[in-house]
Amino acid sequence: MSVSPNPEFEIEKLGRHHDLTQFDCGNTTLNSWFVKYAWTNQQADSAKTYVALIGDRVAGYYALTTGSVHRHESPKRIAKGLANHPIGIVLLARLAVDRTQQGKGLGKALLFDALTRIEEAADIVAVRAVMVHAVAETARQFYEHFEFEPSPVDPFQLLLLLKDLRKALK
């Protein structure tokens, strides 16, 4: 079942039947995690991975998990009004696009699919923000373009307040 408005690809939860071995985003760490750990983490309920398919070929993926961030690690807008306790977040743990599809809007489509799923989950489980760890300067700029704010302790750790996510999806 496709949740993508783009007829060129479908986005679905990772299954055992998906061939991950041909995927290459150009980043060894992201490639390796996808092939070696995505399915294992999914089976262990450690992270849920979604894949973008063009035909039977995996063209991109993202992985989601939950976590928390300390107040001092988050922008003031995210910590505002909260007690001095860890802040519940959904971590966009990985997002990668195969080299053959880079620059065609698939990264944006994957991000919006992830944000849509997070927004739906936030109706069931409380979450204050979405967090990403950008792997490079270009990735940091990509997330900042979509209103993610850098952490005061690490500019490559970015957060998006849930109310901003909801505005973006309207």
Q: Which two tokens stand for residue 19?
A: 């061939």
Q: What is the pTM of this model?
A: 0.92
**Main-chain dihedrals φ then ψ at residue 31, nearest 5 degrees:** -60, -50
Please report the pLDDT score of residue 59 as a whole number: 98
CA angle 59, 123, 76 (to 5 degrees): 85
Identify the CATH number of the domain in which residue 157 sits. 3.40.630.30
Query: Alpha-carbon distance 153 to 71, whole Å?
Result: 11
Domain annotation covers residue 5: no
Please name the residue ranges forming H helices in the chain.
28-43, 76-79, 106-121, 137-145, 162-169
Domain annotation covers residue 1: no
Catalytic residue among 50, 61, 62, 143: 143
Please report the pLDDT score of residue 7 as a whole number: 60
143 counts as catalytic: yes
* Mean pLDDT, the chain cut into blocks of 10 residues (170 residues total): 59 97 97 98 97 97 97 91 92 98 95 96 94 96 95 96 90
Domain annotation covers residue 3: no
| Domain span including residue 31 | 10-169
Please give the tally of structural domains in the chain. 1
Domain annotation covers residue 110: yes
Please report the pLDDT score of residue 164 as a whole number: 93
